[in-house]
Amino acid sequence: MSLYQKSKAVDECSPLSEAEGESVLALIEELFPICRSITGNGVRQTLATLQRYIPLEINEVPSGTSVLDWTVPREWNIRDAYIARPDGTRIVDFAANNLHIVQYSPPVDAVMPLAELRRHLHTLPDRPEWIPYRTSYYAENWGFCLTHNQLSGLADGLYRVVIDADLAPGHLSYGELFIPGESDDTILFSCHICHPSLANDNLSGIAVATMLARHVQTLRPRHSYRFLFIPGTIGSLTWLARNEDKLGRIVHGLVLSCLGDGGGMTYKQSRRGNAAINRIVAHVLAHDEVPHRIAPFVPYGYDERQYCSPGFDLPVGCLMRTPNGEYAEYHSSADNLSLLRPESLAHSLAVLRRIVAVIEGDAVYQSRNPKGEPQLGRRGLYGALGGQRAASYDQMALLWVLNFADGRHSLLDVAERAGLPFATIRAAADALLAADLLEPVPVRC
Amino acid sequence: MSLYQKSKAVDECSPLSEAEGESVLALIEELFPICRSITGNGVRQTLATLQRYIPLEINEVPSGTSVLDWTVPREWNIRDAYIARPDGTRIVDFAANNLHIVQYSPPVDAVMPLAELRRHLHTLPDRPEWIPYRTSYYAENWGFCLTHNQLSGLADGLYRVVIDADLAPGHLSYGELFIPGESDDTILFSCHICHPSLANDNLSGIAVATMLARHVQTLRPRHSYRFLFIPGTIGSLTWLARNEDKLGRIVHGLVLSCLGDGGGMTYKQSRRGNAAINRIVAHVLAHDEVPHRIAPFVPYGYDERQYCSPGFDLPVGCLMRTPNGEYAEYHSSADNLSLLRPESLAHSLAVLRRIVAVIEGDAVYQSRNPKGEPQLGRRGLYGALGGQRAASYDQMALLWVLNFADGRHSLLDVAERAGLPFATIRAAADALLAADLLEPVPVRC
Amino acid sequence: MSLYQKSKAVDECSPLSEAEGESVLALIEELFPICRSITGNGVRQTLATLQRYIPLEINEVPSGTSVLDWTVPREWNIRDAYIARPDGTRIVDFAANNLHIVQYSPPVDAVMPLAELRRHLHTLPDRPEWIPYRTSYYAENWGFCLTHNQLSGLADGLYRVVIDADLAPGHLSYGELFIPGESDDTILFSCHICHPSLANDNLSGIAVATMLARHVQTLRPRHSYRFLFIPGTIGSLTWLARNEDKLGRIVHGLVLSCLGDGGGMTYKQSRRGNAAINRIVAHVLAHDEVPHRIAPFVPYGYDERQYCSPGFDLPVGCLMRTPNGEYAEYHSSADNLSLLRPESLAHSLAVLRRIVAVIEGDAVYQSRNPKGEPQLGRRGLYGALGGQRAASYDQMALLWVLNFADGRHSLLDVAERAGLPFATIRAAADALLAADLLEPVPVRC
């Protein structure tokens, strides 16, 4: 609570139009049917689609390449998979939903009794209408996922199981976009692209990251920006192993996932609690009308686990709406297009733009008149008539910036102390710069 | 909550008598009718009145003098001002209330239709019975303030407007009292004297500061004290510009205003959050029975804005009851003598005396028997009979002082940690000094 | 609240059996009737009893020895004491309850009227059935304690008063047990043994300390352990004065008292707020099902007053259930065996064992694969099937340890950050050590 009442915050960014939310959704709809995994043609098709939006560079890393403690696995491609009755009727069919297959299932063509088949079947008994999403990347197990209702309906007897897939040396594919800025100091945005037909996790993150990259391309940014579209875990490990020389330039980073559901915002902090990105995101969310929560770092979740491993300890947090594991539809066929809301996608993108605006706009200034207040009135920055009840909203912002233009406080520091949105403080600083009352201090912030 | 129950705090200062509250009020009543502004004879008359109480030095600074980014304005003196009907009937008359004139209005003698006059009239539509207080020090505009009811009653037609005022080269006047102490380390008290007939803002501050100065004169203080009675903004800027060599000796400071209304206490912290004055005032208020709040520094309000500008950054807070802008009568004719309560004036003065007592009494000691507790019993400082339920209130204070007499904790540190009033801790230290159990440590605190 | 849901904490220590609680109680029952004081044969008899459990070294310090600011007093031994009617009927009799005599009463044999006797009588008017406990160690006063009902029943007239006691040069006795560990870094446990027939204060502390010492003897501890059984105040002062050369090795310490009542746990912090023992105890209590509170240091209570005096400032806290002075029966005949609960004694001992387990088990490790997560799956430490809703409880502990195995965080740091019990984190570290994923870092913690 400030001592002197404030008027309502100005709207610092025009909200994205509904049309923009729809265009994010259109990209998601195009990507939804593709069967992605941590390798394979589904990933390539996804990256090729994104190249229509942004000039993504595509990297191919051979199977067997050592990446840190791991090895790039064989490439997995699947053409067909089904469980059929003896009469040939398909009762579980990959063609109907690509979640039906446990990812990285090796090829199978066998007939077996239900009792044996059952050991390869995965369901969600609590959600009998949903198909679970399961993987077995690093242990060779085949399996099918189906609804619990389907399983309950299976009669004893023999079933034919066919998985027409390749699990063979190939490549791991990932996409990368580097947008150079005035400085080599780099902001990292990373999203995982390995999930098949799951909408919120993580086509929402992929599509929002793509649109954010398009926005950054329209700026002449002070910082450089790097966008990664990578398979989870093995993709970030691969990128980290190949780019150790670049890590020192990463000044802030965010993993983006689950950005399209109807929930509020969740920011999971970087391992280093004092990382600037933690303050930046917290500030932006604090001045947003959508509810949010700030969660401390936990060594579980998405690729922040790798970026924040102790040998790297990068200042990378994770921005989500409802986090992984906390919405009922997570990792099931119910995480489909109907879970997404265009206004959530547009809002997530707006929040990220505001985060970029803080990163780009933050700076340290020094007052040219640090002793006493400069006379704002004769510069047209202060009302002529005195005795009013309180300073106007804009006058307060001017006074805050002037009072803390001491070469030690950044504009974000001032915004936090004033309880005002960064954009208001930035605008006040611009007015004072125009009146020649401030000068920049060469400090990186 | 301390682990061991405490008895109720001893009353550390005898409250001021009701008579003292009345004598503060008598000074205010004498000053109330004078038309003060940031310059002029009203200020001189005010300072001359105060000289009957304290040996104030009066300074006169010529118009046109550069003070930091500002210039001392012309001097304004007003003799008469009114709005009259064509028949000569005065309908708004400076003689009735000196708030009727916008401060620093230049001389006018004109006849004009209501439509034109209206652009120079100021009212409070929400408070139709009150006259607002308005100024135009640095932009040459004439104007009248009146009740909204008066304005509503004005018929169309011509009106005569007369302002018989001088706005001419002269001086800015301010009063200063320096009370030397053992050390040059100085405590600054500052109050603004520029408001016309407004009682709480700030005749209350002026009168309480005057009585506090009289109190300090009766001490043989360890610190030096400087009291400033100055016009708001331009006065503090002027004093700062002329006394830069003295600023380094200011170890604590308080701006005093709005100290007579019936509200609780408000302490607005110094810009430097870790300034000792912030702790001292918070401690005194925490042990007071009147409700209080501690507000963080905000670069708006009174002359703390100037003292706390980044080029000075002095450890100066602001002590008020209800802050400026937060009581309905603020800057209007309703801020008159009826708003003041003698008990509030007396209480404000008592709080300030207690603040001075902490400043004067704080010190760092070292135990002469730091290993284990000294045997208080054989020195008559501890009850002879053991096994009682808890230590007595005074014994606890002795134990606190002894345990933290380590050369690193001041008595205020001990009082804060013990949750006891400073005066209790000071008394315990005095008893231990008398028993030769403590020795002073030469640390400034 | 962690971002990712946790399962319920594993039970980290098997709770002590009811039988163990009973065996603690049996020791207390044996010690209860003895009339202890700060010196004398009651103390010797108590220490001799403890020697049947642990190899206690008994120290005898002559009366008159200077210890810091104090002097070891004369030894007090009492054989008989009573108040009798002229006909010889004993109406207050030491043989009935050793609380009837004010400790350190000198010998008396006199007849006096009730009016004079009354000045030597102590009662608890609010608790008319209870006998208070009173002492007069350092001022020579005789006195009797009795129930208020007894006092009310006394008729006017003459009474014979007999105290058959010696107050003569002798010794102060205390017991000490040093259990050497790999390192000289020492953990201090101290309990006062000077109270007569009071059960919770402090036969509970004596008996629990004895059983804890037996437990530590079964370990091959990394740290050394020192157990002190001493008279309050003068005993700790004496030990401190005689062992100044050993104080620098004390890395953690606890005073133990009031550990048998039915209340929750209370931990009173060491004077140094950042002492590791404060974190250790707080951690153990936070993961315990019994309610607890953490109280800041206060220079009153038990021998922590002496250990934490400014010239020593040892990292010593105090562990209690209901603190001294906060239960009604405190320092009265109602603090008897019926106040104790075997399950509380067993629980207090279990908490202390867990504290020892943290002290012994804490360590700093470094990951051998700090860059990215090591692949736990191929080491059998991670489930093969991916896509599950959340990591298992044990997997989370592994991830926490790995992520903070950076050579700067101890396992206790990790446990605190993870919100998991130390034992869970310790077990995860052991599994990772077995898989050769961690290496110890030579840091004392």
Q: Which residues of A are less than 8 Å from B331 in CB distance?
A: 387-389
Query: CB–CB of C296 and B391 under 8 A?
Result: no
Does A378 touch chain B if contact means CB atoms closer than 8 Å?
A: yes
What sign for the dihedral angle of Cα A211, A215, A217, A223? negative
What is the tens place of the pLDDT at every residue in B162-171? 999 999 999 9
pLDDT at position A17: 64
Cα–Cα dist C342/C18, whole Å: 7
Q: What separation in angstroms does the CA of C428 have from each of C358, C395, C416?
A: 14, 8, 14
Distance of CA B188 to the CA centre of its chain: 10
Chain B nearest-CA residue for A365:
B310
Instruction: Please name the residue of chain B whose CA is at the shortest distance from the CA of residue A397.
Output: B299
Tell if the CB–CB gap between A373 and B306 is shorter than 8 Å: yes
Count of alpha carbons within 13 Å of A108, Cβ hemisphere only? 23
Whether residue B241 lies within 8 A of chain A, CB to CB, comes out as yes
Q: Is B380 on the interface with C (CB under 8 A)?
A: no
Q: Cβ of C372 and A133 within 8 Å? A: no
Residue to test with chain C: of B396, B398, B403, most C Cβ within 10 A: B403
Are A378 and B138 a contacting pair at CB < 8 A?
A: yes
Residues on chain A touching B271 (C-beta within 8 angstroms) = 403
Q: How confident is the model at residue B392 (pLDDT cuts 50, 70, 90)?
A: confident
**Beta carbons of A139 and C377 less than 8 Å apart:** yes
- Considering only the beta carbons, identify the residue of A369, A370, A389 that sits closest to B330: A389
Distance from C-alpha of A80 to C-alpha of A101, rounded to nearest angstrom: 10
Look-up of token digits 């010696």: C166
Of A371, A385, A390, the CB nearest to B136: A385
Tell me which residue of A106, A99, A79, A77 sits closest to A150, measured CA to CA: A99
The encoded tokens of residue C174 equal 């205390």
Name the residue facing B139 among A384, A388, A389 (closest C-beta).
A384
Q: Does B247 touch chain A (CB under 8 A)?
A: no
- Chain segment B136-163, per-residue pLDDT in tens: 999 999 999 999 999 999 999 999 999 9
Q: For residue C398, what is the DSSP state?
A: H
Q: What is the DSSP letter of C252?
A: E
Query: In C, which residues are within 8 Å of B4 by CB distance?
Result: 298, 300-301, 323, 325
The verdict on B8 touching C (C-beta cutoff 8 Å) is no
Q: How far apart are CA B222 and CA B209, in angstroms?
A: 19
CA pair distance C336, C224, nearest whole angstrom: 34
Nearest Cα neighbor of A437 from A361, A360, A359, A382 is: A382
The neighbour count for residue A403, using CB atoms within 10 Å, is 25
Structural contact between residues B411 and B361, judged by C-beta atoms closer than 8 angstroms = yes
Average pLDDT over residues B381-398: 82
Q: Which residues of B touch C298 (CB under 8 A)?
A: 2-4
Q: Which helix (H) or strand (E) holds A117?
A: helix A114-118
Give the H or E element holding residue C209.
helix C205-218
Residue A413 is predicted with a pLDDT of 97
Considering CB atoms only, which of A137, A138, A306 is closest to C373? A306
> Do B210 and B281 contact (CB within 8 A), yes or no?
no
**Order of strands, sheet of C316-320, starting from the edge strand that comes earlier in the sequence:** C57-62, C171-179, C224-230, C186-192, C250-256, C316-320, C265-268, C292-295
Nearest to A305 by CA among A268, A273, A338, A334: A268
The pLDDT assigned to B8 comes to 38
Q: Is B386 on the interface with C (CB under 8 A)?
A: yes
| Alpha-helical runs (H) found in A275-406 | 276-286, 304-307, 342-361, 393-403
Please tell me which residue of chain C has the smallest CA distance to A122.
C385
Q: Which chains touch C (3 or more CB pairs under 8 A)?
A: A, B
DSSP-derived secondary structure for A188-243:
EEEEE---SS-IIIIIIHHHHHHHHHHHHHHS--SSEEEEEEE-TTHHHHHHHHH-
User: Which residue(s) pair with B160 in the sheet?
Assistant: B84, B111
Looking at the partner chain, which of A132, A233, A295 has a beta carbon nearest the beta carbon of C387? A132
Side-chain-side CA neighbours of residue C405 (13 Å)? 29
Chain center to CA of C45:
20
A18 Cα to chain B: minimum distance (Å) = 39
Q: Which amino acid is at A132?
A: P
* Burial group, residue B291, by CB count within 10 angstroms (0-12, 13-18, 19+): exposed
- Residue C398: alpha-carbon gap to chain centroid: 35
List, in order, residues 6 or more apart from C242 with CB less than 8 Å away: C61, C67
Phi then psi dihedrals of residue A91, to 5 deg: -105, -25
Closest residue of chain B to A371, computed from CA coordinates: B311
Chain C contact for B220, CB < 8 A?
Answer: no
State whether residue C141 sits within 8 Å of chain B by CB: yes
Whether the CB of B295 is below 8 Å from some CB of chain A: the reply is: yes
State the average pLDDT for chain B: 94
Quick one: pLDDT band at residue B9, thresholds 50, 70, 90? very low
Predicted confidence (pLDDT) at residue C6 exceeds the cutoff of 50: no
Tell me how far apart the alpha carbons of residues A148 and A129 are, in angstroms, rounded to a whole number.
7
Q: What is the pTM of this model?
A: 0.93
Chain B residues near residue A390 by CB distance under 8 angstroms: 300, 325
pLDDT digits (tens, 9 = 90+) for C179-194: 999 999 999 999 999 9
| Calculated CA dihedral for residues A114, A118, A120, A124, nearest 10 degrees | 140
C198 pLDDT above the threshold of 90 = yes
pLDDT tens column, B18-76: 677 889 999 999 999 999 999 999 999 999 999 999 999 999 999 999 999 999 999 99
Residues 6+ apart with CB under 8 A from A89: none
Indicate the length of chain B as a whole number: 445
ipTM of the complex as predicted: 0.93
Of all helices (H) and strands (E), which one includes residue A408? strand A406-410
pLDDT at C19: 78
Q: Which of C109, C88, C228, C245 is nearest to C172 (CA)?
A: C228
Two structure tokens written together for C208:
């629990």
Interchain proximity C310–B372, CB inside 8 Å: no
- Cβ of C306 within 8 Å of Cβ of B373? The answer is yes
Q: Indicate yes or no: CB of A2 within 8 angstroms of CB of B298.
A: yes
pLDDT in tens, C23-59: 999 999 999 999 999 999 999 999 999 999 999 999 9
Which residues does chain A have with pLDDT short of 70? 1-18, 443-445
> Any idea what DSSP says for residue A50?
H
> How many angstroms separate the CA of residue C399 from the nearest CA in chain A?
6
Quick check: A310 and C405 CB within 8 A? yes
Answer yes or no: are the C-beta atoms of B129 and B173 closer than 8 Å: no
Q: Does B312 touch chain A (CB under 8 A)?
A: yes
Most A CBs within 10 A among B66, B67, B69, B138, hence the mutation to make, goes to B69
* Binary contact (A399, B311; C-beta < 8 A): no
Distance, in Å, from the CA atom of A272 to the CA atom of A289, rounded to the nearest integer, reads 27
Pick the residue of B120, B309, B333 with the most A CBs within 10 A to test the interface with A by mutation.
B309
Closest CA to A257 of A178, A356, A354, A331: A331
**For an interface test with A, which of C365, C373, C441 has the most A Cβ atoms less than 10 Å from its Cβ?**
C373
The reported pLDDT for the residue numbered B1 is 39
Answer whether C372 touches A (CB < 8 Å). yes
Cβ count near B175 (within 10 Å): 25
Q: How far is residue B283 from each of residues B189, B216, B294, C388, measured CA to CA in Å?
A: 19, 20, 11, 55
| Radius of gyration of chain C, Cα coordinates, nearest whole angstrom | 26
Report residue B261 as tokens. Answer: 């209304």
Q: Which residues of A touch C376 (CB under 8 A)?
A: none
Asked whether C342 and C21 are in contact (CB, 8 A), the reply is: yes
Q: By three-state DSSP, how is residue B265 classified? A: strand
Please give the Cα distance from B356 to B251 (Å, whole number).
Answer: 13
More confident of the two residues A393 and B195: B195
Inter-CA distances, A280 with A283, A409, A445, C250, Å: 5, 14, 11, 44
pLDDT digits (tens, 9 = 90+) for B99-131: 999 999 999 999 999 999 999 999 999 999 999
Chain B hits for C300, Cβ within 8 Å = 3-4, 390-391, 396, 399
C398/A contact by beta carbon, under 8 A: no
What does the alpha-carbon distance between residue A99 and residue A77 come to, in Å, rounded to a whole number? 14
**Minimum Cα–Cα distance from C123: chain B residue:** B388
Q: B305, A405: Cβ pair inside 8 Å?
A: no
What is the per-residue pLDDT across B322-358, written as a single tens digit (0 to 9) for each?
999 999 999 999 999 999 999 999 999 999 999 999 9
Q: Which candidate, A188, A189, A192, places its Cα nearest to that of A204?
A: A192
End-to-end CA distance of chain A: 27
Confidence of residue B17 (pLDDT cuts 50, 70, 90): low
